Amino acid sequence: MMNKKGLAILMRTKTRPLSPVSSKLNQMQASLPEGDKVSSQDASLIPRRDFSQVRESMHSAMLTNKTEIVDVALDDFSEGYIFLSPENRYKILLSLSKEYDLNRTQVRELMKQHLDLQLPSDKAEDNDHEEEGSLSAFYKIERNLCQALKPMYEVLFERLNTHPGGLKFLSDIRADILRLLEDVNIASLRALDSHLKEKLITWLSPANLELHNITWDDPASLLEKIVAYEAVHPISNLIDLKRRLGIGRRCFGYFHPAIPGEPLIFIEVALMKDVAATIQEVLWDNPPISEHEASCAIFYSISSTQPGLSGVNLGKFLIKRVVEVVKKDMPNICVFATLSPIPGYGQWLLSKLASSEMSGSVFKEKLLKPEEEKALMDASGGSDLGSSVIKVMWNLLTSKNHEWTNSPNLVSALRTPMMRLCARYLMKEKKRGKALDSVANFHLQNGAIIGRLNWMADRSQKGLTQSGGMMVNYIYRLDDIEDSAQAYLNEGHIESSSDFRSYIEDDNGERAD
């Protein structure tokens, strides 16, 4: 058990960045003067030899064969890399991707050898001996080709993976690569990323991860990670943290043996009588019901701690495992649902309003129904005389401190159009065949369906800005998870409850008028 002082220290960590790479990088960036000359001053602040030293240690970490030298080089490389300027990191990663790529000449030599061999005919069953010999030759070239197709930098990845602290460092490196790829589009860097991602997927397969039920009895060093990494509903004080680990609540994390004391991803669960409609009742209502009365497990927060593991999809497996564990532990739980934010809705709605206001009347999309327009104009009390209803709505939604939430009339007038448009956003707005909203896409690809849209479910500043305070329940119906996931992944089909669909049908009906 922790004493008060330990807990006070624990809570303070919230403001302290945890990753050594990003924290040291931030310090470094903070210490750099701003302005045009940043990059040249940067070069004078960080000694040039650092860069070449790091590059050299990277080189020997890949190409030496003596374990002791490799171990030292891996340490030098990972420690040195952390202290590089962002610019030099970029140069290191580019050098890695271009100069330690595969040997294309050797690859093509093997391809020619393969093509020179004659494929055994399918009917040559009677000539087993000859076929054996020919197959041997194929297998040999194919094995060599597989080897030759591995870029040299895979050796670095593999060695780091078995080196203490190396797996975490690889995840930090990938976070850097992903950040770079937001700005530049370089084929070799994309190839570097895709190879590293493949490796991480292999190494972080669910078989290598351990599920741990995180409780108040866990070490403070672990709990501070939960506080620091909680990305959905920030943990504000001790009572808050303790409640999230107490009666009627669960917190499960996925751990890797090589990254001890720090979950790669964790999920927070509330055991409730009904599917929660607001985050307030999950986070603050007190006391929770006794656990044997619960029939619903509500996943109200899932946070990934490693930006470098983007695309590794640990969340899918975590949810699957947690459902299994909870079901086994508490057979009376029969509903598994989330209470999820809709992080992209606010932004999407504002851009819809803006383009509706800007575009000529011919191509103008009718965002609001006439009765919605009227209700909104009435409620806003003609405060913006001469403004269009779209402009009124824009002003309300972007007003400081979300003042509209203090007026029952405005809340009531906004409710209908906001919910209708949100349903459309969740179900109809797509990008490359997938739901535009990232959280929706996450749960839909895991096999959930859209359940209920909840008005005024998250009244925090963050919740009001993200989605006008709305939240949604995604439902994991255990028997249909696989079918739903397949229908979504293969055909982009989004399933939802009939309750939810009524918003859309209503919308369609209006359009048909």
Give min distance, CB of 427 to a second copy, in A: 24
Neighbouring CB atoms inside 10 A of 221's CB total: 12
Residue whose CB is less far from a second copy, 154 or 507: 154
Give min distance, CB of 220 to a second copy, in A: 23
The stretch among 48-56, 133-141, 325-333, 358-366 that binds a second copy (CB under 8 A) is 133-141
Distance CA 92, CA 94 (A): 5
Residue whose CB is less far from a second copy, 208 or 460: 208
Query: Pick from 12, 37, 104, 428: which binds a second copy (CB under 8 A)?
Result: 104
Exposure of 321 in the CB half-sphere (CA atoms within 13 A):
20
Do the beta carbons of residue 152 and residue 194 sit within 8 Å?
no
3-state SS assignment for residue 117: coil
Q: Which residue is it, tokens 């945890």?
A: 18
Residue whose CB is less far from a second copy, 171 or 467: 171
Give yes or no for residue 108 binding a second copy (CB under 8 A).
Answer: yes
Do the beta carbons of residue 478 and residue 336 sit within 8 Å?
yes
Q: Which of residues 476-505 bind a second copy (CB under 8 A)?
A: 482-483, 485-486
Query: Pick from 8, 9, 115, 231: which binds a second copy (CB under 8 A)?
Result: 115
Q: H or E stretch including 212?
A: strand 210-213
Q: How remote is the C-alpha of 260 from its chain's centroid?
A: 21
Strand duo 471-476 + 210-213: pairing: unpaired
Distance CA 265, CA 262 (A): 9
* Stretch 370-389: interaction string toward a second copy, x if CB under 8 A: --------------------
Joined tokens for residue 110: 């093997």
Residue whose CB is less far from a second copy, 24 or 91: 91
Give min distance, CB of 22 to a second copy, in A: 23
Distance CA 464, CA 399 (A): 11
Do the beta carbons of residue 304 and residue 193 sit within 8 Å?
no
Q: Which of residues 134-153 bind a second copy (CB under 8 A)?
A: 135-136, 138-139, 142-143, 145-146, 149
Give min distance, CB of 98 to a second copy, in A: 9
Residue whose CB is less far from a second copy, 329 or 482: 482
Q: Is 447 left (phi over 0), alpha (psi -120 to 50) or beta?
A: left
Distance CA 144, CA 306 (A): 35
Positive or negative CA dihedral for 254, 258, 260, 262?
A: negative
Q: Which of residues 322-341 bind a second copy (CB under 8 A)?
A: none
Distance CA 266, CA 245 (A): 12
* Stretch 436-475: interaction string toward a second copy, x if CB under 8 A: ----------------------------------------
**Total interface residues for a second copy by CB under 8 A:** 51
Distance CA 59, CA 384 (A): 65
Residue whose CB is less far from a second copy, 320 or 352: 320
Q: Which of residues 36-65 bind a second copy (CB under 8 A)?
A: 65
Joined tokens for residue 346: 């606010």
The stretch among 41-49, 101-109, 401-409, 419-427 that binds a second copy (CB under 8 A) is 101-109
Residue whose CB is less far from a second copy, 131 or 357: 131
The stretch among 5-13, 67-75, 244-252, 343-351 that binds a second copy (CB under 8 A) is 67-75
* Neighbouring residues of 243: CB distance < 8 A, sequence distance ≥ 6: 249, 283, 286
Give min distance, CB of 110 to a second copy, in A: 9
Exposure of 350 in the CB half-sphere (CA atoms within 13 A):
14
* Neighbouring residues of 271: CB distance < 8 A, sequence distance ≥ 6: 248, 249, 250, 288, 289, 291, 294, 296, 297, 298, 330, 333
* Stretch 189-228: interaction string toward a second copy, x if CB under 8 A: -xx--x-------xx-xxxxxx------------------
Residue whose CB is less far from a second copy, 106 or 465: 106
Cis before 307? omega within 30: no
Exposure of 223 in the CB half-sphere (CA atoms within 13 A):
24
Distance CA 209, CA 222 (A): 16
Give min distance, CB of 154 to a second copy, in A: 11
Give min distance, CB of 340 to a second copy, in A: 22
* Stretch 166-185: interaction string toward a second copy, x if CB under 8 A: xx------------------
Query: Pick from 107, 155, 178, 232: which binds a second copy (CB under 8 A)?
Result: 107
DSSP letter for 258, please.
T
Residue whose CB is less far from a second copy, 74 or 272: 74
**Which residues are marked as active site?**
340, 443
What residues form DSSP beta bridges with 215?
none
Rule CB under 8 A: which residues touch a second copy?
65-69, 102, 104-105, 107-108, 111-112, 114-115, 119, 132-133, 135-136, 138-139, 142-143, 145-146, 149, 158, 161-162, 166-167, 186-188, 190-191, 194, 202-203, 205-210, 257-258, 482-483, 485-486
